[in-house]
Chains A and B, each alone.
Chain A
Amino acid sequence: MFIKDIQKILDAQLLVGEEFMDTEVRSACGSDMMSDVLAFVKDQAVLITGLLNQQAIRTAAMMDMVCVVFVRGKTPGEDILEAARDNGIAVMTTTHRMFTACGLLFEAGLNGGCHIK
């Protein structure tokens, strides 16, 4: 799956990262608690979150994640978008709620892909 597929499946609005649309996504993590996200390293992962602050982007950056999706129609401010540009991370927002967003992606073949360490 590619970032452009995520946008399509979630009917999401892309806010940062037009140039990353063809980047591959292999796994996903959905959480509002960043230490839960940091507990499992995934490759080429997307973060689905309702947490709207710069730490969501920094968490994704620490994990080498490629994309952050904000759920429930949350629209990040310029500071968040700037942090994403700075770290080369695609950002989009979807009106779907967390459970639905995760379900749709899972159904389309994306899985948790967790491996420890």
Chain B
Amino acid sequence: MSENSLHYHYVVPGDDFTRAGIASSAVKKTLKQLGIYPETVRKLSISLFEGEINMVIHADGGEIDVWIDDEKIVAELVDKGPGIENIELAMQEGWSTASEQVRGLGFGAGMGLPNMKKYSDELIIDSTVGVGTKVTLIVNIVK
């Protein structure tokens, strides 16, 4: 990132589902205020929201960092959850390990990671079973 990039940090609690999505909502507001093109804001917001929800329902929370410069928005989601055993499988539409309880909360369709892939310009998943997961999302800023 260039030197004059903006940086935001969020802690995502894992024990309070009602708060899941608050960080993404805050980021969306910031991007709007910065006057970033609405379609770019929407792409980043949807991807980040899916990632934030995943952190809460699969990994007991985590931390999010967002950097914004003139060219791109980079979001890094880090958790100390169970990790993803088979990333290729996890990327498939409809594949989910979510419980019935999570489904009752409106998630667990197995569409989150495919959505993140679709809406971001770059998606990097770095995961180790038993250690945690780091998801990096990059969305280019359209001018």
CB–CB A38/B111 < 8 A: yes
Docked Cα-Cα span, A99 to B117, in Å, equals 31
Among B38, B46, B112, B118, the one with the most A-chain Cβ atoms within 10 Å of its Cβ is B46
Could you tell me which A residues sit within 8 Å of B by CB distance?
32-36, 38-39, 41, 49, 51, 53-56, 58-59, 61-64, 79, 87, 116-117
Inter-chain CA distance A32–B103, complex, in Å, is 9
Segment of B16-24, B61-69, B123-131 engaged in the interface with chain A: B16-24
Q: Give the docked Cα–Cα distance between A49 and B42 (Å).
A: 21
Evaluate contact between A64 and B42: CB separation under 8 angstroms: yes
B122 to chain A, nearest CB (A): 15
Chain A, residue nearest B19 (CB): A54
Q: Given contacts A61-B28, A117-B119, are A53 and B105 in contact (CB under 8 A)?
A: yes
Q: Are A33 and B115 in contact (CB under 8 A)?
A: no
| B104-138 with Cβ < 8 A to chain A | 105-112, 114-115, 118-119
A54 touches B18 (CB 8 A): yes
> A72 to chain B: closest CB distance in Å?
15
Whole-angstrom distance between the alpha carbons of A26 and B47 in the complex?
24
